[in-house]
Amino acid sequence: MTPSIASRLAKLNPRQQEAVRAIDGPCLVLAGAGSGKTSVITTKIAYLVQECGMSARRIAAVTFTNKAAREMKERVGQMLQGREGHGLTVSTFHTLGLNIIRGELKALGYKPGFSLFDPEDAKALLRDLMNKDAQVDAEAINQVQAAISNWKNDLVLPGQALSHAADDGEQFAARVYEAYVRHLKAYNAVDFDDLILLPVTLLRDDPEALARWRRKIHYMLVDEYQDTNVSQYQLVRMLMGERQTFTVVGDDDQSIYAWRGARPENLVTLGEDFPRLNVIKLEQNYRSTGTILRAANTLIGNNPHVYEKTLWSNMGQGEAIRVVVNRHEEAEAERVASEILTRRIKERAEWRDFAVLYRGNFQARLLELKLQHYQVPYKLSGGTSFFSRGEIKDAMAYLRLLINPADDNAFLRIVNVPRREIGPGTLEKLANYATDRGTSLFAACHELGLAEQLPTRAVERLGRFTHFIDGVRRRMDGGDALAAIREMLRDMDYEAWLYQNASAPTIAERRMANVWTLIDQLEKSMQADPEDRAEEATASTATETDDVESAISRLVLRDILEQQAEEDDSDRVQLLTMHASKGLEFPHVYLMGLEEELLPHRNAIEVGTVEEERRLAYVGITRARRTLTLTLARQRKAYGELMDCTPSRFLDELPEDALEWEGRADREDPEKKQARGQDAIAGLRSLLG
């Protein structure tokens, strides 16, 4: 054994070592919160390369978020030396799918330069399709979009959706689905769900492609396996087929995305599909105090389990979990804010050591006000994405059209931005003509027959636009693609258009700066993997335009830009939803709003998914390293009305002796309690009297 891998292994506990060494067959690692699962995955990759002599280019590790992929890549990079890690795949499921599609364009019937539609682009297309017959409201579009996404995630194709439609609504959605798929194909475009669906159907239907990818990937590792959906599981299954060499790591107790298609039962299915499955449990927690873990264990003990596990730690018992009952929501926010302020001094902690977790984003509003009042620096997760900004959508549409002239969506977005006096009338006639001829809008502009359908002036204007785009494209192919893009933005004077349309010059300035940031990011993204690029370039005849193309896709997948946001590691209190907190840890955690109807959420109670809410609470609790404070309000304003709140059932499910209550009405000293009882009786009498 090489010394470096031996010392890595020695740092792991026996169960973790077992998980690393289990390489001959299918392996499921049930990794409790804080049990060092990332160490297992990264060490296992190093073990496969250094100890088993497997080439890194035969290994694929997949995660759900770009962030997780980046962190994993970095940790593996530290373990492997020199060229050992060359060609290793550590990516999200979606990026893996994107690469498969890029490698199998012909087999899939797509052309080079295909566009990747983000959910907003997809919605725009659906709106178009659904509004053809009658005006449809936004809600209906959202519903159909969700239905289509669910179908795709469940590997249900339009034909099957149509034949299984139970009612008119589903039938309608299924017909839109069919049209949607057809249009995407015509646009030479794929959506996010296609990034998994298309590879799965290809591998299922094309034995040669299957053989190609099985030859390429010999070992897979999957993180957060409980969050996989049907199509993601099938992708892993198809790729690992007969070889059965994979490791999946997950925790059914942290499954909080079932509402979005995740199938935690994939953990069980795995045992059925692979009888040789080696199940290894990691139960030692390296994060939290004994008290916090005991509370977490007791709470989650109320959920049914296929695989029982109990977390333990040797970090000492630590402090009791405090439960603070407040008069109302404002008092709750006030309390949390002021407590962070004092605790920071008392504990000599930094702002970043604190996190406040809540069920819904709206809960952050009041808290923000209080934190501002006390001048506590904080960072709010979520918020409007860079990519939903209009100027970014415009720039992305230009890029997409340059790479993929069939992308009608991109064409429509920017054909008249900045103004080129190409109005709805012209576009409608152009669309009719293109439909008749079975071509894209952009291609139709080049056709001579168009002159018969449109006034000369309109044809001229369209021609000027396409000529402009064609010119940029030629410059891109001829050399420095990014220089051509920057030149394009200057030539068409996008900046002037921004100034015309902004309410203030500073806003226009900021927007233009955003566009340049986007282009800078594009450049960075192209330089991100010089090794891979070199490899691709030798393997095929990759041009710089190909690089721009793949960089744009990565940009759509939110890869590189969010990295920049992360690098801002200023010292601030974190405000997060419990969902967003998964995978993170903090010395001091505040969990707000432990009330019935909020956590568990009322909708969850209604539809009977309290178990997932319990897991959500479990995730929240297990984020805490040293101290945990749970807060709730007796009254809360909801829908404009003041509502009395009931403490969350989850509080009753925690071990009484691990909690330290503050302000609880029915656990005060008996005298007070009796006094209030008298009051109540008196009140009742007065009511009756």
Partner DNA sequence: GTGGACTCGATTTTT
Partner DNA sequence: TCGAGTCCAC
The set of catalytic residues is 37-38, 223-224, 254, 623
User: Which residue from 589, 650, 588 is spatially nearest to 616, judged by alpha carbons?
Assistant: 650
According to the annotation, is 633 in a ligand binding site?
A: no
Residue carrying structure tokens 């601030």: 572
Phi then psi for 262, rounded to 5 degrees? -65, 140
Q: How far apart are CA 204 and CA 197, in angstroms?
A: 11
- Report the residue number, 287 or 554, with the smaller CB distance to DNA: 554
**What is the bridge-based pairing of β-strands 586-591 and 573-577?**
unpaired
Q: How far is the CB of 525 from DNA (least distance, A)?
A: 14
Q: What region, left, alpha or beta, does residue 261 occupy, with left being phi > 0 and alpha being psi -120 to 50 degrees?
A: left
Backbone φ and ψ of 385, nearest 5°: -75, 150
Tokens 């509003």 belong to residue: 365
| Closest to DNA by CB, 95 or 409 | 95
3-state secondary structure 205-221: HCHHHHHHHHHHCCEEE
Q: Tell whether 346 is in a known binding site.
A: no
The answer to whether 35 is annotated as binding is yes
Please give the angle made by the CA atoms of 219, 281 and 309, to the nearest 5 degrees: 145
491 close to 484: Cβ distance less than 8 angstroms? no
Structure tokens at 39: 């160490």
- Annotated ligand binding at 271? The verdict is no
Question: Is residue 34 a known part of a binding site?
Answer: yes
Residues lying near DNA in the complex (CB under 7 A) are found at: 64-67, 92, 94-95, 119, 138-139, 192, 224, 227, 256-257, 259-262, 359-362, 381-382, 501, 503, 557-558, 562, 577, 579-580, 601, 603-604, 607, 637, 639-640
Residue nearer to DNA on the CB measure, 118 or 408: 118
Give the count of beta carbons closer than 10 Å to the beta carbon of residue 284: 17
In angstroms, give the least distance from the CB of 638 to DNA: 8
E strand or H helix at 97, and its extent? helix 93-103
Which of residues 67 and 446 has its CB atom nearest to DNA in the complex?
67
Is there a binding annotation on residue 36? Answer: yes
Q: Closest approach of Cβ 601 to DNA, in Å?
A: 4
- Buried/exposed code over 218-232 (b: 16+ C-beta within 10 A; e: otherwise): bbbbbbbbbbbbbbb
How far is the C-alpha of 419 from the C-alpha of 417, rounded, in Å? Answer: 5
Looking at beta carbons only, is 428 or 447 nearer to DNA?
428
Q: CA-to-CA distance for 478 and 59, rounded, in angstroms?
A: 36
Comparing CB distances to DNA, the nearer of 556 and 658 is: 556
Per DSSP, 319 falls in state P
Angle at the Cα of 522 from the Cα atoms of 521 and 526, rounded to 5 degrees: 115
Q: With respect to DNA, which residue has the nearer C-beta, 219 or 225?
A: 225
- Count of Cβ atoms closer than 10 Å to residue 605 Cβ: 14
Nearest-approach distance from CB 120 to DNA, in angstroms: 10
CB 603 to DNA: min, Å: 3
DSSP secondary structure code for residue 419 in this structure: -
203: Cβ contacts below 8 Å, ≥ 6 apart: 209, 210, 213, 235, 238, 239
Q: Among 173, 169, 141, 168, which residue's Cα sits nearest to residue 156? A: 173
Q: Is 38 annotated as a binding residue?
A: yes
What span, in angstroms and rounded, lies between the C-alpha atoms of 163 and 424?
Answer: 37
Q: Which is nearer to DNA, 581 or 627 (CB)?
A: 581
Find the shortest distance in angstroms from Cβ 106 to DNA: 24
Exposure on the CB side of residue 63, measured as CA atoms within 13 A: 18
C-beta of 89 vs 245, nearer to DNA = 89
Rounded (5°) CA angle 51-53-57 = 120
Q: Name the residue nearer to DNA (CB basis): 66 or 574.
A: 66
267, 225 contact by CB (below 8 A): yes
Sequence length of the chain is: 689
Please name the residues in contact with 464: beta carbons below 8 A apart, sequence gap of 6 or more.
Answer: 420
CB 287 within 8 A of CB 293: no
Q: How far is the CB of 177 from DNA (least distance, A)?
A: 18
Alpha carbon 50 to chain centroid distance?
A: 32
Q: How far is the CB of 380 from DNA (least distance, A)?
A: 11
Peptide bond into 647 cis (omega under 30): no
> Is position 113 annotated in a ligand binding site?
no
478 is in an annotated binding site: no
**Rounded least distance, CB 254 to DNA, Å:** 10
How far apart, in whole angstroms, are the C-alpha atoms of residue 247 and residue 260? 24
First to last CA, the chain: 87
Strands (E), 510-649: 573-577, 586-591, 624-638, 641-644
Pair of tokens at residue 252: 């059914």
- Rounded to a whole number of angstroms, the minimum distance from the CB of residue 371 to DNA is 17
Q: Which residue type, as a one-letter code, is found at position 108?
A: L
Smallest gap from residue 334 Cβ to DNA (A): 18
What's the min distance (Å) between Cβ of 75 and DNA? 17
DSSP β-ladder status, 641-644 and 624-638? antiparallel
In the DSSP assignment, the letter for residue 361 is T
Nearer of residues 544 and 612 to DNA, judged by Cβ: 612
- CB of 20 or CB of 96, closer to DNA: 96
69 near 222, Cβ under 8 Å? no
The verdict on whether omega for the bond into residue 670 sits within 30 degrees of 0, i.e. cis, is no
Q: Give the residue numbers of the binding site for ATP.
A: 31-38, 287
Residue list for the binding site: 31-38, 287
